Amino acid sequence: MTRPVRAIPADALTEGDPTPGMQRLAAFAVDGLWAGLVHTEPGATSGWHHHGEHETSLYVVAGRLRVSYGPDGAEAVEGGRGDFLHVPAWTVHREANPTDEVSTAVIARAGRGAPTVNVDGPDQA
């Protein structure tokens, strides 16, 4: 049976799973998919975390976003407005905003289980 298409207005987004240093807002979650926004304040760096078996796509709509990962968190990628970032499942990482404006990204996660697991730090070298 076909389900109706729905719109989720910006003022209907709800607080998403918390990680220190960032604000996630959930638009919707259905079996196998989570979608929402993340806002990161200027100069802020999130806590270390991973997304379990979820593959994560970030589309940067404002500002810049740096994702650190790898042994000791020594590797990083950075994207700006119009860029996509992909965070593979189980990858321990943290996001940072290296600019003086709020960064905003649209998040889509495909997978099952807890969408965010906060951890003490990255893998050691």
Q: What are 14-43's pLDDT values in tens digits?
A: 999 888 889 999 999 999 999 999 999 999
Domain enclosing residue 71, as ranges: 35-113
pLDDT number for residue 117: 94
Cα separation, 67 vs 78, in Å, equals 6
- Decide if 79 is inside a domain: yes
pLDDT at 61: 98
The answer to the question of residue 62 being in a domain is yes
Amino acid 109: pLDDT: 96
| Residue at 4 is within a domain | no
Residue 84 lies in a domain: yes
Tell whether the model's pLDDT for residue 112 goes beyond 80.
yes
| Residues 44-99: tens digit of each pLDDT | 999 999 999 999 999 999 999 999 999 999 999 999 999 999 999 999 999 999 99
Looking at the domain assignment, is residue 120 inside a domain?
no
CATH of the domain at 73: 2.60.120.10
Closest by Cα among 63, 61, 60 to 41 = 63
Asked if residue 45 is part of any domain, the answer here is: yes
Q: Is residue 121 part of a domain?
A: no
Is residue 123 a part of any domain in this protein?
Answer: no
DSSP-derived pairing of the beta strands 33-40 and 103-110: antiparallel
pLDDT of residue 107: 97
DSSP state of 45: B
Number of domains in the chain: 1
Average pLDDT estimate for 8-15:
96
